[in-house]
Amino acid sequence: MKILKRPPTVKLPAEWFTGDAWADVLLRGEDPSRARANMVRFAPGARTAWHSHGLGQTLYIVEGVALIQSRGGDIIEARPGDIVHTPPGEEHWHGAAPDRFMIHLAMWEGDDTTWLDHVTDTEYDGPRVSTKR
């Protein structure tokens, strides 16, 4: 067992994100592992572009209000403690509500993320379904 050196926080690229988002790489498995885990922090209104993961993705909401949408589906408001799974190949986006910072733990396998078009303001402002308990 060893304590790993933590890589520096990185600002995520404008090609894949609208607004300001930063990531801390927590796990980047080495062969044969394909496990990946990043802690991602989104400024209010920041969001990913549409994208998909070859083996799916799981998000654990840590802080704030997350907005998550699969292509053609409702925008889901997820809150701290919520776990959201996106199946392999499903096009989706996720980000922060317009008035709050949001932090999530993103977990996936492999490097086969397909990045697509940016989420428009109209798409981002669409109707929402809340997970509020």
pLDDT tens across 1-58, in order? 989 888 999 999 999 999 999 999 999 888 888 999 999 999 999 999 999 999 999 9
pLDDT for the residue 91: 98
Per 3-state DSSP, the chain is made up of helix, strand and coil in percentages (nearest 5) of 5, 50, 50
List the one residue out of 112, 77, 116 whose CA is nearest residue 94: 77
Residue-wise pLDDT tens digits, 89-119 = 999 999 999 999 999 999 999 888 999 999 9
pLDDT for the residue 33: 87
User: Model-level pTM greater than 0.75?
Assistant: yes
